Chain A
Amino acid sequence: QKEVEQNSGPLSVPEGAIASLNCTYSDRGSQSFFWYRQYSGKSPELIMFIYSNGDKEDGRFTAQLNKASQYVSLLIRDSQPSDSATYLCAVNAGNMLTFGGGTRLMVKP
């Protein structure tokens, strides 16, 4: 059973702070890693993906991948109330994505 684990939260951060979201996965054959954001009542939307060890930055978002530790993280700098959502980590090994349960982020003004 391929597993993707996330802390369900809620993770509460003040506006302007850095939010750090974490994800671990069990399948060492996993090749690519995705972060999706899902607002309440909406469908998931892609934030970014990463497939090489290290950091990948896109605006206020940074994805970090450590394959040796089987760990992926997402950092959100200068968090805004509009970032309040559930963040889903997804891992690809082959032709399907396995999603974690998601971390609910709350950014307080």
Chain B
Amino acid sequence: KAGVTQTPRYLIKTRGQQVTLSCSPISGHRSVSWYQQTPGQGLQFLFEYFSETQRNKGNFPGRFSGRQFSNSRSEMNVSTLELGDSALYLCASSPLGGLAGAGANVLTFGAGSRLTVL
């Protein structure tokens, strides 16, 4: 069974540019969550999608956006990049998210996309 696939794995951008990251969840998983991980702030929740709908959003500016497609694949976009956006962006999938008990919302993480903003 294939795991969570994130692309690209590494990318370098300059301030002001935008970036799109992609995530393919485990087959059958309908919930996709995105997290930003930095040494100083740890794992910070960005947003969660279920059946193409954003169910939850973390405390990030509007420059951070996402979407989910009908096949559960998800993308996140960061516009007008800032130096502080340099981070590891982690995507995680789960069968149902938080709807049905602890087992259904176990997150499986992808390898992450490491973004460096110069």
Chain A residues within CB distance 8 Å of chain B: 31-32, 34, 42-46, 49-51, 88, 90, 92, 94-102
Q: Is the CB of A97 within 8 A of B107?
A: yes
Q: Is the CB of A95 within 8 A of B56?
A: yes
B83 within 8 A of A: no
Known contacts A31-B102, A92-B102, A94-B56; A43 and B42 CB within 8 A of each other? no
Known contacts A43-B90, A99-B43; A92 and B112 CB within 8 A of each other? no
* A97 CA to B34 CA, complexed, in Å: 11
Q: What would 26 A/B residue contacts be, using CB atoms closer than 8 Å?
A: A31-B98, A34-B107, A42-B111, A43-B90, A44-B90, A45-B109, A46-B107, A46-B108, A49-B103, A49-B106, A51-B101, A88-B43, A90-B107, A92-B105, A95-B55, A95-B98, A95-B99, A95-B105, A96-B48, A96-B56, A97-B45, A98-B45, A99-B42, A99-B43, A100-B42, A102-B42
Chain B residues in 8 Å Cβ range of A42: 111
Q: Is the CB of B112 within 8 A of A43?
A: yes
Which 6 A-B pairs rank lowest in CB-CB distance, beginning with the nearest? A32-B102, A95-B98, A99-B43, A43-B109, A51-B102, A101-B42
* A60 CA to B31 CA, complexed, in Å: 30
Quick one: closest A residue to B55, CB to CB? Answer: A95
* A78 CA to B87 CA, complexed, in Å: 34
Quick one: closest A residue to B45, CB to CB? Answer: A96
